[in-house]
A = this chain, B = another copy of it.
């Protein structure tokens, strides 16, 4: 099936919204796509006609099986490009997203497979978001926001959520990437900032920022020291 870039964007964004919030309201989609709700209604009716979404008027949309399968191909294309740009072309990770946004619509199945091969069949992009496999399998990566970790607990960064270029540049400067080990040394009272150990350095992180850093709790700092 040959889809317009617009339709591809709809599918991708419906997918991303529904994975987090379930059935997607028209307005949420409209906001993400930066178009009016009226336009979304129109397009969504068309997508329903194509059998790609299930649209209950006034109650949002949800991808059908075939819609989801197509959405996953776009997500795959996007994330493969992001990783490729960062890894092979050394594009700064905060810029990769914008470029990938264009490139994702210009990636054939064959070339996608080639990228995946060159990258060693990766399962996550530079932000830690899972890269769907060719047949649409997605590894859920989960994690909890860093600011939910109690003082003294350690973990591994698994993904950066809701990232913006500015946030990514900041985190990059701090050396906070997926795969890095972090430990919460202490938390200032009254929902205050966190003192965090990253590698051999100590940084102070605001809660807003920490909330975007998803970690897998690994072991308490105490336990790690015993090892």
**Which residues on A are within 8 Å of B, measured CB to CB?**
85, 88-91, 95, 98-99, 102-103, 105-108, 110-111, 114-115, 118
Prevailing SS type, chain A contact patch: helix
Select one of B90, B102, B111, B114 contacting A106, CB under 8 A.
B102
Q: For residue A106, which residue of chain B has the nearest CB?
A: B102
Which chain B residues lie closer than 8 Å to A88 at the CB level?
88
> Separation in Å of the A17 CB from the closest CB of chain B?
24
Q: A102-B106, A103-B106 are in contact. List 7 more A-B contacts (CB 8 A).
A: A89-B118, A91-B111, A91-B114, A95-B110, A99-B108, A102-B105, A102-B108
Q: Can you spell out 5 A-B residue pairs with CB atoms less than 8 angstroms apart?
A: A85-B111, A88-B88, A89-B118, A91-B114, A102-B105
> Separation in Å of the A16 CB from the closest CB of chain B?
20
Q: Are A114 and B102 in contact (CB under 8 A)?
A: no
Select one of B90, B91, B103, B110 contacting A103, CB under 8 A.
B103
Select one of B89, B107, B108, B115 contacting A114, CB under 8 A.
B89
Q: Are B108 and A106 in contact (CB under 8 A)?
A: no
> Separation in Å of the A202 CB from the closest CB of chain B?
35
Q: For residue A118, which residue of chain B has the nearest CB?
A: B89
Q: For residue A89, which residue of chain B has the nearest CB?
A: B114
Which chain B residues lie closer than 8 Å to A103 at the CB level?
103, 106
> Separation in Å of the A84 CB from the closest CB of chain B?
9
Q: Are B111 and A89 in contact (CB under 8 A)?
A: yes
Give complex CA distance A85, B107 in Å.
Answer: 12
Give complex CA distance A118, B89 in Å.
Answer: 8
Which chain B residues lie closer than 8 Å to A102 at the CB level?
105-108
Give complex CA distance A95, B102 in Å.
Answer: 21
> Separation in Å of the A66 CB from the closest CB of chain B?
23
Give complex CA distance A115, B89 in Å.
Answer: 8
Give complex CA distance A95, B113 in Å.
Answer: 14
Which chain B residues lie closer than 8 Å to A91 at the CB level?
111, 114
Give complex CA distance A102, B99 in Å.
Answer: 14
Q: For residue A100, which residue of chain B has the nearest CB?
A: B106
